[in-house]
């Protein structure tokens, strides 16, 4: 049996991340691929010091998000597993996981929830596109429902 292709789906639970998830789902279904649902926790820093309690809460909520999305995909018959990463900047974490897990495609939304998140995630998407060794599909919010 041939090795199933693996799609990396970084998500933050935003509407564009959801749009990317539906896109990844249709690719996975067409190609019989599996999906690695990835969430990223950047440490909660308060006054220059990591607030471990806040970081723990963030980790838990991001793990829940990844697990819920992986579960949703599995209920549709798509092999999916959750992964929460807590080290490095978002684009570095995405690129590292793509390498380590030998993914064949990265599918991600172009923007986060807020204007700041949009600016940050926009630059994350930009860096991933420029540095990834595999194809990257960026899904804008407009894809949803069309």
Helices and strands, number each (H, E), in the chain:
4, 7
32 three-state secondary structure: coil
Residue 58 lies in a domain: yes
Per-residue model confidence as pLDDT tens digits over 80-110: 999 999 877 889 999 999 999 999 999 998 8
* pTM of the shown model: 0.85
Give the pLDDT band of residue 146 (cuts 50, 70, 90).
very low
Distance CA 70, CA 76 (A): 10
Q: 80 lies in a domain?
A: yes
pLDDT surpasses 80 at 115: no
List the domain range (segments joined by +) for residue 16: 6-143
Cα separations (Å) of 43 from 69, 71, 98?
22, 26, 21
- What mean pLDDT, rounded, does the chain reach? 86
Residue 1 lies in a domain: no
Distance CA 28, CA 105 (A): 10
Residue 37 is assigned to a structural domain of this protein: yes
End-to-end CA distance of the chain: 35
Q: Which CATH number characterizes residue 130's domain?
A: 3.40.50.620
What total of structural domains would you count in the chain?
1
Task: Confirm whether 64 is domain-assigned.
Answer: yes
């Amino acid at each position: 049996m041939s090795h199933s292709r693996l799609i990396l789906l970084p998500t933050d639970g935003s509407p564009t991340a959801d749009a990317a998830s539906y896109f990844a789902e249709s690719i996975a279904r067409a190609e019989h691929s599996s999906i690695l649902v990835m969430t990223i926790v950047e440490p909660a820093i308060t006054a220059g010091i990591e607030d471990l309690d806040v970081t723990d809460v963030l980790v838990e909520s991001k793990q829940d998000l990844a697990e819920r999305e992986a579960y949703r995909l599995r209920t549709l018959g798509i092999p999916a597993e959750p992964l929460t990463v807590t080290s490095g900047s978002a684009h570095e974490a995405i690129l590292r996981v793509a390498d380590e897990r030998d993914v064949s495609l990265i599918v991600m939304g172009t923007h986060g929830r807020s204007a700041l998140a949009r600016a940050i995630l926009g630059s994350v998407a930009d860096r991933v596109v420029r540095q990834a060794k595999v194809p990257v599909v960026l899904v804008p919010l407009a894809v949803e429902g069309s």
